[in-house]
Amino acid sequence: MNRSTCFLSPNSSAARPRLRSARPKIPEPPADRHRHAARVGDLVRQAARVARPPQSARAAQDQLAAEKRGYAEASAAAQRYAADTRRIAGAAQSAFSTIGIRSSKTIQADVLGIQQALPRLAVDARTSGGEFDRAWAAGQKRIAANSKGPE
C-alpha cells in the first residue's frame, strides 16, 4: 500500500465523489416560506416562554408574599391587643381588690367552695355534731354575705 493511495488529497479527482456524498444535504426551503418562518417564530417564542416564568406566576408569587406579610402584621397586632387586654384586666382587678370589691367569678367560686366543703365535712368521722353545726352556720352566713353584696 503506498502512501498516495492511502491518503487522498481533497483536490484529487479520486476524492471528489466521496466528498460530494459526504456533504450534508441542505433541505430545500418549503414552498410556502411565510408559513415556515411563522412556525420557526412560534418555536422560538415557545422556547423563550419555557426559559423564564410567565408574568402571571410572578404576580402570584408577589401576591402570596404580600398576603404573608399581611398575615404576619395581623397576627402581631392580635398578640399586642391580647397583651394589652390582659394588662388592662389585671390593672382593673388590682384596683377592685384594693378597694375591697370582688368580681362575680370570685364570689361564685367562693360559694361553690363552701358548698363542696360542707358535705365533705358532714361525712368526716372526726367532726362532732356541734362542730359541724357551727361550720354549717358559718358557711351559710358567708354565702348570704356574698349573695347580698357590699354594704
In angstroms, the first-to-last Cα distance of the chain is 134
- Cell 398575615, residue located: 71
Could you tell me the pLDDT band of residue 20, with boundaries at 50, 70 and 90? Answer: low
pTM score: 0.35
Q: Where are the alpha helices (DSSP H) in the chain?
A: 3-6, 16-22, 33-51, 55-98, 104-123, 129-148
Residues in the chain: 151
pLDDT digits (tens, 9 = 90+) for 89-129: 888 878 877 887 777 888 888 888 888 888 887 777 677 77
**What are the phi and psi torsion angles at 103 (to 5°)?**
-75, 160
**What are the phi and psi torsion angles at 55 (to 5°)?**
-60, -35
Cα distance between residue 78 and residue 58, in whole Å: 30
Contacts 24+ apart (CB under 8 A), 32-37: none
Cα distance between residue 56 and residue 10, in whole Å: 57
Name the residue with higher pLDDT: 129 or 26.
129
63 pLDDT exceeds 80?
yes
Task: Find out whether 142 and 106 touch, Cβ atoms under 8 Å.
Answer: no
